Amino acid sequence: MRGLSAAWSALPFLLAWPAGALEPHAAGAAASTAPVALGAAPSAVGSSSAAAPGAGAGEWTDADRRRGLLLTDLLIAEDRLGEAWAFARARLDDDGRKPVWLMRLARVAALQGRSSEAAAFYKELLALQGESVELLMQLGSHAQDAGERAVARGAFERARTLDPGPLPRYRLSELSFSEGEEKQGKKYAMEALAAMPEPAPQAMRRMRLRLRSRAGWEDSIDREFQELFESEPGEAESLFEWTGALFRAGLERDADEPLALLRERFPDQAFRTRRLELERLRQMGAWVPYDALVEDSVLRWPGEPAFRFSRGERLLRSRRWIQAGRDLSFALSSPAYRKLAGQSLLELHREYDHHVGPYVVLHQTEGSRYHEEGVAYRGHLREALRAEAKAGVTTYKVPPRTFSLTSLHGTAAWESGPWTAGGDAEVTGGAGSGGFSPGVFGRWEPKSGWGVGADGALRRAWASAAGAVDAGATTDRLGVNWDTLPRARIYFGGQASYNLHHVDGGGRAERTVLSPQLVYRVMDRPFYLGAGYRFLAQDAWGQEAFFDKLSLTRRTRTHYATLSLGKRWLGGRLAANGHAFNGHDDGRGRKFTSFDLAGMGAGLDWFGERLHVKGGYDFSRDSESGIGGGMSHTLRLAVEWHWYGHGDKNTPR
């Protein structure tokens, strides 16, 4: 209807449009005088050979310009964006009044999802016409959509100085909240509320309620949204705002009423409503109905990137790598999902590709040191079959001795749906001894957002401590681990194990470990920040011959405060992470205030088209087990060459 309405209003002007401006003709041939057929594609719309009215640039009449602009608007209304772009682009150099064509080009670029180009056109308009609130707001909006947050903030801040009204402050509030700057977002929200006119028009009333919900949720806001909709029952935007406000307040379970009204009264808004329904289920962690609704959405809107992206994300979590790659590749073609889909595809390649390359580990404590060099492989031999292999030589120095340990390690795991099952084996030799150690492991991760796993191994070399290797220590181990997401921002997990240790000469000891932890996700933007608590309980007992040969702490009850952070750049290719902790254990005389159990670490990861480089450093004031206690430093570096995993050759990199 919009296209037909625009066509009807443009008809008198288009019938008078010189035919040579739309139809190419051979040199010397007479130009056709037939009028343009509405709804038919002008064969030379946007062609650089299409003649413009007048003899050259700057010679357009006002009537010519009006007809050209109306034709451009008509093509936009009929969603013929490519033709509108080409036509306006060609006219830009013909007409002396560039701003009107720049405005159309910016509009087309925005409709095509090319937000960065749209922002560039508004920058050019500002340079030509000088500052205006309208142009600054458009620049800020498109820059924000393009991820150019600094440009967006600058434009909105400048508009704020020129306009005392609420809109620039509202946009600054939304931008600040999207960057995780809650305090600043609330400040701008309060400024915008103070600048609201009275009486406020309907759109401003919606904005006011949105800002109030941002500044701090009150139960009255829910009722006022309901009253606002009842005062304009034909306006769907009130329901969308109402639902969004409930989501932001963590009250997604209370969004039944606005979502039901959207489904019943606004079937033409089914696409937007479906996206809200999916977001609600995602926030609730209701993954079984979420997956079913995603599948239904893909069937109902097969060409919609939003739903293909959502399904690709879930398939990625379920390790159905090949179909996930197809869905994410489809979403990658959409400018709106290019960044998110690109990051997810990088994650797919990190986990699924074949990787092989050298690695080195350097470790030093106050009484010993070791360094390990080797080569490692990991990847998928089939979509559900993951394999790992590592061969390395570790050289230990425990004064006055220096000795080496050679190790070969292999892992194979079958991953199917929520289940993982596999086994590993390790062969060691050197340091006057050698051995073979088999192991098994399994894990179950249902769609409810939690998982549990178990593992076991026999005669596994205790290779991470020079003192343990010097004593010929091996371990029979049985362990369990678990993790769950009881709320969107909270992670709860942990592990427990029983260990039977042996040393050369027949000494034996038993050890149990229990270590639950809780992490709260403080923020995601501009970087990830998590704060947590971890408890460690260890008890060891056995033959004195064991403890005479290997110093193992018999009892610990340690409380750790933890901090973790992370940041990604370049679409996820470059990632940095860090962590810090500090412990308290009365039984061992370790205090928070003395930082006796403190530590920290940092890592850097670059994932290129074919090369993957990762490294890290860890520091600790004391070891948890007490073996090789005291200050320790560990440095790790690995370089991997990676190539396509099984069935992955058409997945973009």
- How far lies 244's CA from each of 206, 237, 279, 412, in Å? 12, 10, 10, 45
pLDDT in tens, 527-554: 899 999 999 999 999 999 898 888 888 9
> Mean pLDDT throughout 58-63?
70
Both tokens assigned to 436: 């073979």
Q: Is the pLDDT of residue 38 over 90?
A: no
Q: What is the DSSP letter of 590?
A: B
pLDDT in tens, 465-502: 777 887 788 999 999 999 987 666 889 999 999 999 99
Q: Rounded distance, CA 525 to CA 303, Å?
A: 31
SS3 call for 557? strand
85 C-beta neighbours (distance < 10 Å), count? 23
Q: What string of H, E and C letters represents the secondary structure of 288-332? A: HHHHHHHHHHHHHCCCCHHHHHHHHHHHHHCCCHHHHHHHHHHHH
270 C-beta neighbours (distance < 10 Å), count? 14
Nearest to 646 by CA among 379, 316, 257, 310: 379
Element (H, E) at 469: helix 466-470
Q: Rounded distance, CA 534 to CA 227, Å?
A: 47
- Per-residue pLDDT band for 1 (boundaries 50, 70, 90) equals very low
Q: Rounded distance, CA 402 to CA 404, Å?
A: 7
Q: What does 506-534 look like in DSSP terms, one character per residue? A: S-EEEEEEEEEEEEEEEE-SSSEEEEEEE
Element (H, E) at 118: helix 115-129
Q: What string of H, E and C letters represents the secondary structure of 372-415? A: EEEEEEEEEEECCEEEEEEEEEEEEEECCEEEEEEEEEEEEEEE
Q: Is the pLDDT of residue 116 over 50?
A: yes
> Mean pLDDT throughout 587-611?
93
SS3 call for 439? strand
Whole-prediction pTM value? 0.75
Nearest to 509 by CA among 555, 456, 558: 555
pLDDT in tens, 409-467: 999 999 988 899 999 999 998 865 678 999 999 999 887 678 999 999 999 988 887 77
Entry field: residues in the chain: 653
> Mean pLDDT throughout 269-283?
94
> Mean pLDDT throughout 35-58?
38
pLDDT in tens, 323-361: 999 999 999 988 778 888 999 999 999 999 999 999 999
Both tokens assigned to 355: 């990787």
Q: What is the DSSP letter of 302?
A: T
Q: Which long-range contacts (CB under 8 A, 24 or more apart) does 264-267 make?
A: 265/233, 265/236, 266/236, 266/239
Mean pLDDT of the chain: 85
Q: Rounded distance, CA 187 to CA 164, Å?
A: 15
Q: Rounded distance, CA 621 to CA 546, Å?
A: 25
